[in-house]
Amino acid sequence: MKLKTKFLLFSLVIHAVFIYLAVGLYAENRNSFFIAEALIMISLITSFWLYRSISRPFDIISSGIESLKDKDFSSKLNTVGHQEMDELISVYNLMIDQLRSERLQQIEKSSFLEKLIEASPSGIIILDFKGHITSVNPVAAQIIGQQQNVSGKRLEDLEGKLSQEIVSLELNASRVINLNGIKSYKCHKAIFIDKGYQRAFITIEELTREIYLKEKNAYEKVIKMMSHEVNNSIGAINSILNSCLNYKDQLVDDDRNDYANALSVSIKRNTNLSDVMSNFSKVIKVPEPTKLETDLVSLLRSVQILMEPAAKIKDVEWVWELESGEFYFAVDYQQMEQVFINIFKNAIEAVENAGKVSVNVSSGAGIITISNTGSGISKEVSDQLFSPFFSTKKNGQGIGLMLTREILYNHNLRFSLESDAHWTEFKIFFG
C-alpha cells in the first residue's frame, strides 16, 4: 500500500471518529457542537492540503521512476516548492542529464565504431564470449569467401583454408598465413570486455601486394647486379676462347681435337649461362601491357596447338568446357599467351600418363579455369610455388610462375591455385 493511501485512510478514520463525537455534543451543548464542526472542517481542509502536498511530489517521483524503467532520459521533473523535495528533484534532474549525455556518447561511439569497422581496409571478425561469430565486415567476408550471413556460426564450421587456419590462432598473437603461395594474410586475435564478458575479435590484413613488391625490389637488384657482372665477364671470356680456337691448327694432331672440344664446351657453357641470366632478366623487364580486345577462347586454342606435341608424348586428353565460342577481354596478347603457355606446360608436366587437362571458360562469370589430373601439390610446395626462383624440377629456374604472376598483376587480374590429392586447378578472374 502506498504511503499517500495510508495517509488518506488514516485521515478518514480520525475525522469519522471526530464527527461521531461531535454528534454526541449536539444534544448536550449546541455551541460546543458548532465549534467542533468548525474545527473538523478546518481539519478536513488542512488534511486535504497536506494530502495534495504529499501526493504531488510522490506522483512526480513515480513518473520519474517510470521514465528510468523505460530508459527515457529526455524527461525532467519540475520543482514542487518544498525545499527537501526540490533538492531531491534537482539531484534527479542532474542524474538524468548525466545519463542522457553518457547514452548519447555511447550511441555516437557505437555508431562511429560500426562505420569504422565497415569501412576498414582490414577484415574484422567479432566473436561472442562463446566463440560464435556476431559480425563480419565486408572485407573479412570477401577474404574468407563467405558472402552469406555467418552470424551464430563458429569459425571451424566455415569452409575455406583461411578460416581453418584462423581457428588455430592463439590469443594476443599475430601470424602471417600463406595460401598456396599466392595470398598472404597477417591475422591477429585479441579480446575486449563487453557487458562484463570477454569477447574475442580477429583482424585480417592482406599482405600479398606488400610482400610481392618487397620480393620484386629485392630480386630486381640481385638480377641486375648478376646480369651486369656475368654478361660482361662472359662476353670477354668467349671472345678470348674464340681467339684461342684459331690456334688449334698449330697443335699436334693428337692434342688438336681435345683442345678444340674443351674450348667449345667452355664457350657453350658460357652461352647457356648467358641464356639463364637472360631468362632472369625477362622477369624484371616485363613491359606495361598494351591491352586490346582479344578473344581468349581463340588464344587458348592456339596455345593448345602449340603444346600438342608435348601433350601427345604423355597421351594427355584435352577436355574443353565452353559457355560460348568467344570470350573477349582487353589484354596484352603476347603476355597473356605466355601466361597460358606456362600454365599449360606445368599442367602437362604434372599429368601422369593418360591423364586429363581440362579448360573451362565461363564467359558470364569471367573465369578461366585450367585443371589437370595428377598427384596434386603438397602444402609445403604450394606455399612456395610463387616464391622467387623456387622450382621442384631438377633443372628448373623458377621463372615460369614468377613471370605468370608478374603479367597477371600488371593486368590487375586476380588468380588462384588450388590442389588436392588428385586434381590441380589454376583460375584467372577477368573483371
Residue 184 and residue 383 in contact, taking contact as beta carbons nearer than 8 Å: no
> pLDDT of 336-391, one tens digit each?
998 999 899 988 988 887 789 999 999 888 999 999 988 777 666 665 566 655 55
Residue 406: which residues within 8 A CB-CB, separation 6 or more?
A: 216, 283, 286
Task: Classify residue 191 by its DSSP letter.
Answer: E
Residue 426, φ and ψ in degrees, nearest 5: -115, 120
Rounded to 10 deg, the angle between the 83-119 and 30-69 helix axes is 10
Residue 251, φ and ψ in degrees, nearest 5: -90, 165
**Which pLDDT score is estimated for 51?**
72
Q: Which of 153, 88, 98, 166 is nearest to 127 (CA)?
A: 153
Amino acid identity of residue 338, one-letter, is Q
- Give, in degrees to the nearest 5, the angle at Cα 228 between 223 and 233: 125
CA atoms of 6 and 12, how far apart (whole Å): 10
pTM of the predicted structure, to 2 decimals: 0.54
CA atoms of 8 and 180, how far apart (whole Å): 84
Residue 43 and residue 15 in contact, taking contact as beta carbons nearer than 8 Å: yes
Query: What number of other Cβ atoms are within 10 A of residue 105's Cβ?
Result: 10
**Which pLDDT score is estimated for 159?**
77
**Which pLDDT score is estimated for 370?**
94
Tell how far CA 375 is from the center of its chain. Answer: 32
CA atoms of 238 and 217, how far apart (whole Å): 31
Q: Which of 270, 271, 343 is nearest to 304 (CA)?
A: 343
Q: Which residues of the chain have pLDDT under 50?
A: none
**Which pLDDT score is estimated for 69?**
72
- Give, in degrees to the nearest 5, the angle at Cα 263 between 260 and 268: 120
